[in-house]
Structure 1
Amino acid sequence: MAQQKILFLTGDYAEDYETMVPFQMMQMVGHIVHAVCPDKSAGDKIITAIHDFEGDQTYSEKRGHHFVLNASFSDVQVANYDALMIAGGRAPEYLRLNAKLIDIVKQFVAANKPIAAVCHGIQILTAADVVRGKKLTAYPAVAPEVTMAGGSYAAVNIDEAVTDGNLVTAPAWPAHPQWIAAFLKVLGTKIEL
């Protein structure tokens, strides 16, 4: 397996599992993962939020963990990365307002590099106007944004993922087993047990 370098976008109140699990899983299989957030540097912390599905009309939210970023957003050069992952939660709502972050996403798409996004992370893709003509999923509340941005929204179960070319999306953290497995397949990662 060739080690790949993955840029991981997250931020304050990103979903806890959607930050911790993909970050650690990609490292576990041997990839280098740089977790970044605009206006923060390596060693800075973000605070995550825990979103749970408890039978209400939407998810509930609790304070999560402190997550230490291991790279500086100001140092990001897309040419240095093989792939992009985007965490969900509330962070994408404000991260998509950062012009440099949107430009980074557009560069990944223009270079045809693999991208994985989960839950509300898809809001960053719609804001970057890169889902036109793509089939993808997201947290159901993001479906109207996908459609308005020209994407084809796939209403799948909360534990399923959708792959369209090199784009892998999922509605929320219960889909991690499928979402991460699908992204590893797109990356060409082979795991020997």
Structure 2
Amino acid sequence: MAKVLIIAGDFVEDYELMVPFQALEMVGHEVLVTCPDKEIGNTIKTAIHDFEGDQTYTEKPGHLFTLNATFNDIHDDNFDALLIPGGRAPEYLRLNPRVIALVQAFAQSKKPIAAICHGAQLLAAANIIEGAKISAYPACAPEVTLAGAKYIDIDVTEAYTDGIFVTAPAWPAHPRWLAQFNTLLPS
């Protein structure tokens, strides 16, 4: 089975961290979740983003998530794939040079990368999606396009795979997004 790295941070979208973590472990993959400047046993705060008919999503407090990996101990060559949840975390994680280097290393090694919602901000900042077809939360479409990718506008329940990239607009796409990602993982 695969060893999957999830890079997260405070105010990551709750469902986009919790559901992939639990679902991938359920089917037998080893999943490690890390955050810059944090260690095993530290927690991060999550936020629940919901779609309630407003012009954008609403945000509510989520759960505390206990990290099971120390960021400074992470090396891309110890993993088979990368998963990037959305929420507000990617907006500041993309400012961390080591996070960017990790994302770039996964891409250079042609390892599967799943990103959902605002996770595309890390893909764009890492400059790894030029020429790819990438979905994301619609507010991230300009960043995807500016990074040289083609933004794929799909229903919130859909996901899109292009080579090593599996992307989706938001957590309602989990069944399709995780199924597509799982087909790229070693079993």
Query: Structure 1 length normalisation: TM-score?
Result: 0.96
Q: Distance in 1 between matches of 2:167 and 2:124?
A: 13
Q: Structure 2: how far apart are the matches of 1:93 and 1:167?
A: 19
Mapping of 1:47-62 within 5 angstroms?
Answer: 47-62=45-60
Map of 1:145 onto structure 2:
143
Q: Does 1:6 align with 2:4?
A: yes
Alignment-mate amino acid for residue 85 of structure 1: L
Aligned equivalent of 1:170: 168
Distance 1:105 1:188 in 2: 19
Deviations 1:66-125 (A, max 9, x none): 000000000011110000000100000000000000000000000000100000011000
What are the within-5 Å matches in structure 2 for residues 26-175 of structure 1? 26-175=24-173
SS of residue paired to 1:25: helix
Matched position secondary structure for 1:156: coil
Equivalent pair of 2:2/2:186 in contact (CA under 8 Å):
no
Does the 8 Å contact 2:157/2:173 carry over to 1? yes
Q: CA deviation at 1:188?
A: 4.7
Give the partner amino acid of 1:92.
P
Give identity over the alignment, percent: 59
SS of 1:40's equivalent in the other structure is coil
Runs of at least 5 residues in structure 2 that lack an aligned partner in the other structure: none
| 1:187 positional shift | 1.4
Specify the SS of the correspondent of 2:53: coil
| Displacement of 1:166 | 1.5
Q: Deviations over 1:144-171 (max 9, x none)?
A: 0000000000000001001001110000
In 1, Cα distance between equivalents of 2:29 and 2:153: 30
Gaps of 5+ in 1: none
Offset from partner CA, 1:8-64 (integer Å, 9 cap, x none): 011100000001000111100111111000000010000000000000000000010
Consecutive aligned runs of 4 or more in structure 1 exceeding 3 Å deviation: none
C-alpha separation in 1, matches of 2:155 and 2:39: 36
